[in-house]
Structure 1
Amino acid sequence: MLTEDAKVQTLLSTLKLNEAERKVLQQQREIAALDLDRTELKAPFDVRLDAVEISLGQYVNKGQQLFSGDGIAVAEIVAQFPIGALSPLLGKSAEVGAPLASLTTGGGDISNRHEALKAKVVLRTPKSDISWDAKVDRVTAAMDPKTRTRGIILTVNDPYGQATPGQRPPLVKDTAVEVILQGQPKKDKIAIPAAAVRKGTVMVVDAEKRLRFKPVKVAYIQGDIAVLMSGLEPDEKVVVSDLPAPVDGMLLGPKPDKQLLERVMAEATGTAPSKGSK
């Protein structure tokens, strides 16, 4: 009888404990419902949803990712440039340079002088090229050890606002584009076709229409043109054709190549993109 009385007391205690636990669970349920009513998922800025990790009626654990999205106010483009190729664009006016306005590959330390650069992002399509005006924002902190390049981050403001349905698409994530950087024009520099420089010398025609070899010092080569540091004067005539057996002092019958001159002028002044630019 004592044993059975002890069992009865245990069952009565269990009932009272269950009643207390039900009240605690009820309070927790009411608190959870109140938290749910007060919960609002709000992004800190306008975004375009990318991946949604939850659905209606699904339980979400604390710290679980709900969704991911990209901001639509500004688009960032990371362009990889070889080290040192941006030096002509970032140099001071008195430094070595040329009146080249466009350069689509480059690198190095930009510092505060990147504010003087103009940037453009171009999307190549079968029908036409679509471009956005961009701004050089910053440089990546580390260099890529495999490609030995530095990443330059450019920004495009309001990429969705600039879109036109059926004509101009928005600049969206993972779009493969080309980056064109434009620096300040350099004065008093000479640009000639890169093919005209042969082992550090250039063939010119003197006042008596005779062939002369002049050593030149090349500052840098971009595309199809070479920018000279020294060696030529502005009024000298450069031989751009291949001569079968050039001999110093031989008599020539020079003819101007107007088409080549126009191409060199267009590339040197930035009115036309460099050949093979990326």
Structure 2
Amino acid sequence: MSDNNSPQKPVEVTQKPVVWGVHLIVTIVIFVIAFAIIAAMFASKPTPRKWGGGPPASVGVETVQLTATNYPVWIESYGSAEPLTRTQLVSDVSGRVIEVANNIRAGASFKAGDVLLAIDPRDYQIEVDVAKSTVANAWVKYKEELAQADVAERDWNVKPGSKAGRDLALRIPQVAAALASYDASKAQLAKARLNLDRTQVKAPFDGKILKQMVDLGQVVNPSQTIAEIYSTDYIEVRLPVKAQDLAHIYLPDEYNAPGNEPTDNKEHQSVVLFEGELGGKTYTWEGKLVRSEGAFDSSTRMLYVVAKLDNPFVSSPQLPALRVGQFLRAKIEGTQLKNVYAIPRRAVSQNNMIAVAENGLLQKRAIEPLWTDVESVVISASSLAGDIDNYAAAIDSADQLILTPTANLAAGTRVKSLNDINSTTNEELAKKKISKPAMNEEIQASGSEKQEGLPALKKSPSNSSTSTTD
């Protein structure tokens, strides 16, 4: 047995020496590989293409051919449909309403002379009867005076006297007074009959009810409004027109000057096309320009012209009836501009410049618009305009109008129409489609030539019904 308290020998730890040579070799290899990769990257960098004396590339642009034409001018405006006659139907007499017609309700139609409302006529019938009695009494009184005058005239012939005495004796003043009383009684009878007739409120014209004011059992007074009505023969639309657009409109008032025929002449009335929405659909109505108002509007500085639509409240399967107060967009027929170019709005810059392709080069031209609308800018085909360098240059019909935005392209840039590019591409594609079968035939022929002299391959029975052996 060994004693636990005996001294122990120390353990010796041996360390392996570091192989510095191996680390150095690995580091060198890593650097060599990295250098090789970087060198390969720089070696594969594409060589920049040097532009020599060849022509610069052309910019593809969308173009259209300029064609001189006659351009009809249409002035856009707007307004609300309003009836020609719009008035309040009032009562001329007082009394209780005893009858109301069905066509006095809001939106109902009526004809001229239709009874829309009746007032109790009994009081007015009594006045008529009293007036008749008064007329009869006055008639009797007048006849009595005539008879007494005849008797007095016979007596005067027996006993002649002075002129004044003669008039009194012949009862001439009394006869005149009786005749005047008789005439007054007849006038009272006519008035009583008129009031009796007024107990039936009649329509003054063909129209429709806009608003009903009274109803059955209500007591009305003279001048009290019964209903608001409007005529349905035609409507009018007030259309505001800018001062600069008036030169392109045939104003009917210009033909009302002394020596000119009135505007009823149809050839002096411009056509007005109206558009409106009903039930989610857009409909078009046609009217005529009939007059213009005598003064400019002080707030808008525009002149109002008035257009007329006949029979607007008659509906049909193709065209519904208009409604009072309906908003309408309008286009007023104007003059026709002759020998002009109609340029799309998107081809004109804010400073009235356009770009044209002249002999394959982009050129910019300044234009002077004769007319501008939502779609086109119209210029004269015979006028001169200055280019961007203020040199006089005419817009020739042979020039191709550039529709593509060219704000970033300078004048003189080579351009090519996209139409030409597309046609060239289509031709090339067509040629490729034609030559493709020929290429396949060549490939098949070359393949067959290569297979000549080679041993045939064996095919498994599952892939072919026959097999080829050596």
Range into which the TM-score falls when normalised by the shorter chain: 0.5 to 0.7
1:218 maps onto 2:369 in alignment: yes
* Cα distance, 1:41–1:179 mapped onto 2, change above 3 Å: same
Match of 1:132 in 2: 285
Where structure 1 has 5 or more consecutive residues not aligned to the other structure, the ranges are 1-25, 91-107, 258-278
Match of 1:243 in 2: 406
Amino acid across the alignment from 1:152? V
Residue by residue over 1:150-184, the C-alpha shift from the partner in whole angstroms, topping out at 9 and shown as x without a partner, is 222111111122x037x643112111111122234
- The answer (yes or no) to whether the contact 1:190–1:234 under 8 Å persists in 2 is no
Aligned partner (choices 171, 181, 193) of residue 332 of structure 2: 181
Taking the TM superposition and a 5 Å limit, the aligned residue runs for 1:1-278 are: 30=130, 34-39=193-198, 40-90=200-250, 111-112=254-255, 115-125=268-278, 127-161=280-314, 163-164=315-316, 168-198=319-349, 199-206=351-358, 208-229=359-380, 230=383, 231=385, 232-243=395-406, 245-256=408-419
- The answer (yes or no) to whether the contact 1:190–1:227 under 8 Å persists in 2 is yes
The 2-side partners of 1:29 and 1:148 are apart by: 62
The 2-side partners of 1:59 and 1:34 are apart by: 21
* Cα distance, 1:33–1:117 mapped onto 2, change above 3 Å: closer
* Cα distance, 1:235–1:69 mapped onto 2, change above 3 Å: farther
Could you tell me how far 1:222 is from its partner in structure 2? Answer: 0.8
Instruction: Calculate the aligned-residue CA RMSD, in Å.
Output: 3.1
- The answer (yes or no) to whether the contact 1:119–1:133 under 8 Å persists in 2 is yes
- The answer (yes or no) to whether the contact 1:209–1:253 under 8 Å persists in 2 is yes
Could you tell me how far 1:73 is from its partner in structure 2? Answer: 0.9
Amino acid across the alignment from 2:344? P
* Cα distance, 1:146–1:197 mapped onto 2, change above 3 Å: same
Amino acid across the alignment from 2:230? D
* Cα distance, 1:41–1:255 mapped onto 2, change above 3 Å: same
Could you tell me how far 1:27 is from its partner in structure 2? Answer: 5.2
1:245 aligned counterpart, secondary structure: coil
- The answer (yes or no) to whether the contact 1:75–1:171 under 8 Å persists in 2 is no
Higher mean alpha-carbon deviation, 236-245 vs 34-43, is at 34-43
- The answer (yes or no) to whether the contact 2:274–2:328 under 8 Å persists in 1 is yes
The 1-side partners of 2:323 and 2:252 are apart by: 28
2:244 aligned counterpart, secondary structure: coil
The 2-side partners of 1:86 and 1:255 are apart by: 41
Residue by residue over 1:205-240, the C-alpha shift from the partner in whole angstroms, topping out at 9 and shown as x without a partner, is 11x211112222112311131111433233321112
Percent of pairs identical after alignment? 18
Q: TM-score scaled to structure 1, two decimals?
A: 0.64
Structure label with greater radius of gyration: 2
* Cα distance, 1:255–1:30 mapped onto 2, change above 3 Å: farther
Could you tell me how far 1:46 is from its partner in structure 2? Answer: 0.2
Residue by residue over 1:126-149, the C-alpha shift from the partner in whole angstroms, topping out at 9 and shown as x without a partner, is 542111111111122332222222
Amino acid across the alignment from 2:196? D
The 2-side partners of 1:187 and 1:74 are apart by: 35
Q: TM-score scaled to structure 2, two decimals?
A: 0.40
Where structure 2 has 5 or more consecutive residues not aligned to the other structure, the ranges are 1-125, 132-190, 256-262, 386-394, 421-470
Match of 1:93 in 2: none
1:145 aligned counterpart, secondary structure: coil
Higher relative contact order (CA 8 A, sep 6+): 2
Could you tell me how far 1:54 is from its partner in structure 2? Answer: 3.5
- The answer (yes or no) to whether the contact 1:123–1:131 under 8 Å persists in 2 is yes
- The answer (yes or no) to whether the contact 2:207–2:231 under 8 Å persists in 1 is yes
- The answer (yes or no) to whether the contact 2:274–2:287 under 8 Å persists in 1 is yes
